[in-house]
Amino acid sequence: MELTRSLVDSRAREYREEEPLYAVEEEQLETLPAAFTSGEYGRRDAAWVVRWYYRRFLGDYPDRDRRDAEDRFWGNDFEAVRDAIAGAVDATDAADGIDSLTALEAVDVPVASAFLMFVDPEEYVVVGPREWAALREAGELSRRYPDPLSVSEYETYLERCRSLAGRLECDLWTLYRALWRLSK
């Protein structure tokens, strides 16, 4: 499969029309970056990112594991959550942002990538097995999805996504939506 502008546009459009979480994702992408930057957010806003990461699989992610991650995230001291998000906002690169976020309970590299996307969607994109598989099928990544995913592997994925977004003249959110649909 070759990733072309028309393929990305059509799959991103399918995502917008068919994925049940699209409207709330779009709303959060409009509000969370400013909230996280200003510090004007609550515990539920931060927890929403963790919930979204797992619930976007719409039941394909084991419910018990999802609930465990959500519960463990709620166990974090809220000031620690605020400090970690502030660290991600102030980070100069993905590795620094991920290091800050993974200090929290229940935040691994993929969940940290979701936080980074909602901190700055113009610079970061979430990673998971589906998006990775779509890039691999397109010949953009050579390895299978690593589990667990390392920071350097996320940086490789992010670099590929940024390069593709530039070449295809689209933003990372559009590319993400296309990759999600291509992996179905």
Computed from CA positions of residues 21, 181, 68, 41, in that sequence, does the dihedral angle turn out positive or negative?
negative
The string of pLDDT tens digits covering residues 87-137 is 999 999 999 999 999 999 999 999 999 999 999 999 999 999 999 999 999
Residues 6+ apart with CB under 8 A from 152: 95
Q: Are 104 and 73 in contact (CB under 8 A)?
A: yes
Q: How many other C-beta atoms are found inside a 10 Å radius of the C-beta of residue 146?
A: 14
The rounded distance, in Å, linking the Cα atoms of 144 and 90 is 31
The rounded distance, in Å, linking the Cα atoms of 107 and 111 is 5
Inter-CA distances, 112 with 57, 107, 166, 182, Å: 17, 6, 23, 23
Mean pLDDT of 54-68: 88
The rounded distance, in Å, linking the Cα atoms of 162 and 130 is 17
Please state, rounded to an integer, the average pLDDT across all residues of the chain: 96
- Whether the predicted pLDDT of 59 surpasses 90: no
Q: Are 145 and 131 in contact (CB under 8 A)?
A: no
pLDDT of residue 168: 97
The rounded distance, in Å, linking the Cα atoms of 65 and 83 is 26
For residue 60, what pLDDT band results from cuts at 50, 70 and 90? confident
Mean pLDDT of 41-47: 97
Q: Which of 178, 128, 181 is nearest to 153 (CA)?
A: 128
Q: Where are the domains of the chain?
A: 5-182
Q: Are 84 and 93 in contact (CB under 8 A)?
A: no
- Whether the predicted pLDDT of 156 surpasses 90: yes
The string of pLDDT tens digits covering residues 17-35 is 999 999 999 999 999 999 9
Mean pLDDT of 74-82: 98
In this prediction the pTM is 0.96
